[in-house]
């Protein structure tokens, strides 16, 4: 499992400083292309904003791709502070855009750094977090008398039942963490006297929220 958290969803928080509006939007992004697409979408959403300041960290831990831009603000007053907040948050695979609508009063370089930092902190502190977990998607065919026991076993091993198909037998489509799969298979073997096993059809990663 990655040693860093990922934003579980896209969220937004807003801050007003001396009549200037700062709108911080944070989202998961798993590649630089995804991050750039997100940045473009926010700029399209706020085309009349004075600035749309982006920052992102793709990857996490010791293997990261980072980017930031001041988007017309004085050098070092906006993009770098936003990126610094991301770096200190423990998040990876994260993209942030802080949108500013100028309120008519200059904030000065120090004021801009503080405002962009606080806007970024607000959204980072509010975002629910997740881990990227490897999972199997598997098919499980079993006789009807074993259905309820199989459902309970799946729940015990943190599995999601994606589909149930009823014919001569019941066929379940399951999503189960790799870390639980061996024990799940052993439980199936025990309750079916070795007659039932799940068949893996896909292995991928999914986001699981941190409780």
pLDDT tens digits, one per residue of 81-90: 999 999 999 9
pLDDT in the model for residue 1: 47
Whole-model pTM: value is 0.76
Residue 4: its pLDDT value, please? 86
Domain boundaries along the sequence of the chain:
6-127, 131-209
Q: How are beta strands 63-68 and 20-28 bridged, if at all?
A: unpaired
Q: How many CA atoms within 13 Å lie on the side-chain side of 52?
A: 17
- Please name the residue ranges forming H helices in the chain: 32-45, 79-89, 108-126, 147-156, 178-191
Tokens 């503080």 found at? 114
- The predicted structure's pLDDT at residue 102: 95
Distance CA 201, CA 33 (A): 28
Q: What per-residue confidence (pLDDT) applies to 68?
A: 98
Each residue of 51-109: pLDDT tens digit?
999 999 998 767 789 999 999 999 999 999 999 999 999 999 999 999 999 988 889 99
Domain 131-209, architecture per CATH: 2-Layer Sandwich (3.30)
Would you say 79 and 70 are in contact if contact means Cβ atoms under 8 Å apart? yes
Helical segments of 21-146, H only: 32-45, 79-89, 108-126
11 contacts 131 by C-beta, under 8 angstroms: no
Q: What is the pLDDT of residue 61?
A: 66
Cβ 24 vs Cβ 13: under 8 Å:
yes
Q: What is the 3-state secondary structure (H, E, C) of 36-50?
A: HHHHHHHHHHCCCCC
Q: Report, as ranges of residue numbers, the positions in the chain whose pLDDT lies below 50.
A: 1
| CATH 2.60.40.10 corresponds to the domain 6-127 | no
pLDDT at 211 (0 to 100): 55
Evaluate whether 6-127 and 131-209 have a shared fold: no
């Amino acid at each position: 499992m990655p040693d860093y958290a990922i934003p579980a969803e896209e969220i937004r928080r807003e801050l007003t400083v001396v009549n200037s509006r700062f709108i911080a939007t944070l989202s998961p992004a798993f590649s630089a292309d995804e991050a750039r697409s997100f940045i473009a979408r926010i700029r399209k959403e706020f085309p009349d904003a004075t600035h749309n300041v982006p920052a992102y960290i793709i990857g996490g831990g010791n293997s990261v791709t980072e980017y930031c831009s001041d988007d017309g603000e004085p050098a070092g007053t906006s993009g770098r502070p936003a990126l610094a907040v991301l770096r200190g948050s423990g998040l990876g695979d994260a993209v942030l855009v802080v949108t500013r609508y100028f309120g008519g009063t200059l904030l000065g370089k120090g004021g801009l750094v503080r405002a962009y930092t606080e806007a970024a902190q607000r959204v980072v502190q509010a975002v629910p977090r997740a881990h990227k977990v490897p999972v199997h998607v598997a098919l499980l065919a079993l006789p009807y008398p074993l259905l309820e026991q199989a459902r309970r076993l799946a729940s015990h091993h943190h599995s999601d039942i994606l589909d149930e198909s009823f014919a001569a037998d019941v066929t379940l489509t399951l999503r189960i963490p790799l870390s639980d799969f061996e024990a799940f298979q052993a439980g199936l073997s025990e309750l079916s006297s070795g007659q039932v096993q799940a068949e893996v059809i896909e292995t991928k990663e999914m986001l699981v929220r941190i409780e």
